[in-house]
Amino acid sequence: MPIHRIAIGNPGEAAHPDALRAAFAEFFSMVIFVFAGQGSGMAFTKLTDGGASTPSGLIAAALSHAMALFVAVSVGANISGGHVNPAVTFGAFIGGHITLLRSILYWIAQLLGSVVACLLLNYATGGMETSGFGLSTGITTWNAVTFEIVMTFGLVYTVYATAVDPKKGDLGIIAPIAIGFIVGANILAGGAFDGASMNPAVAFGPAVVSWTWTHHWVYWLGPFVGAAIAALVYDNIFIGGHPHEQLPVTDY
């Protein structure tokens, strides 16, 4: 069981230069991702007078997030592993691939990156609102939690299959694009229902800037549960007793 390999880490790890560089890499990757993803929705709203909630707006959101995440994972991979998502970091922690203390550094950097990106967007657009995530009419909080669990399971399962599995071989090269594609596809599937976050940091930044916290817990519980299930399933069934590697920092 990977949970037996969970490690707290050494207190000195938080000040280690490599850990700090990795945290900065997560911060800048998150700024890139959120600025492009959230910004595309704001631009679409401006150009179409509120059309971001239309089918074409959903497609635009899926494409922009897929492309932005591909880049954000790629540019951070050599330094931090390119998590760009607290849920991905949590899945790596559950699988024993990152310590708790290093995870906390990543989480802080990811959340700050999202907030900074939303603040930059708010300023650059002349005060346009960075809209937070919300539930569609007829969707309950537990409907949304289910969506987030399933979508984040698919995301973290993809991360494990293309980036963590020691048998991945050359497949690791396409990990960033595979990760971007699954996020884009999940937005097409769940975006009309709960916004398809799959990433607590992506929901956190807009919530802070707009100070809108309605149902915000959904976007933490669902992704963390989905990430944990994916880590446990993939690690136990498909990796098993094989030697483990940390989330790669050089293979993408």
111-120, 133-142, 149-158, range with the lowest pLDDT = 133-142
pLDDT of 54: 80
The two three-digit tokens of residue 86, written as one number: 């607290």
Domain membership flag for residue 252: no
pLDDT of 38: 94
pLDDT of 7: 75
Per-residue pLDDT for 146 more than 90?
A: yes
pLDDT (mean) for 18-37: 96
Task: Please tell me the total count of domains within the chain.
Answer: 1
The CATH number linked to 217 is 1.20.1080.10
Domain membership flag for residue 184: yes
29-43, 86-100, 165-179, 233-247, range with the lowest pLDDT = 233-247
pLDDT (mean) for 34-51: 86
Domain membership flag for residue 247: no
Domain membership flag for residue 251: no
pLDDT of 197: 96
pLDDT of 251: 42
Integer CA distances (angstroms), 167 to 161, 164, 243, in order: 9, 9, 10
Distance CA 230, CA 211 (A): 31
pLDDT of 103: 95
Integer CA distances (angstroms), 228 to 141, 220, 234, in order: 20, 12, 10
Write the pLDDT tens digit of every residue in 175-217: 999 999 999 999 999 999 999 999 999 999 999 999 999 999 9
Domain membership flag for residue 40: yes
**pLDDT band for position 11 (cuts 50, 70, 90):** confident
pLDDT of 241: 59
Domain membership flag for residue 246: no
**Percent of the chain predicted with pLDDT > 70:** 92
Residue 7: give the domain boundaries. Answer: 2-239
Domain membership flag for residue 86: yes
pLDDT of 245: 45
Per-residue pLDDT for 170 more than 80?
A: no
Domain membership flag for residue 195: yes
User: Using CB atoms within 10 A of its CB, is residue 123 exposed (0-12), middle (13-18) or buried (19+)?
Assistant: exposed
21-25, 38-42, 197-201, range with the lowest pLDDT = 38-42
The two three-digit tokens of residue 173, written as one number: 């090269």
Q: What is the model's pTM?
A: 0.91
Question: Can you give the C-alpha Rg of the chain in angstroms?
Answer: 17
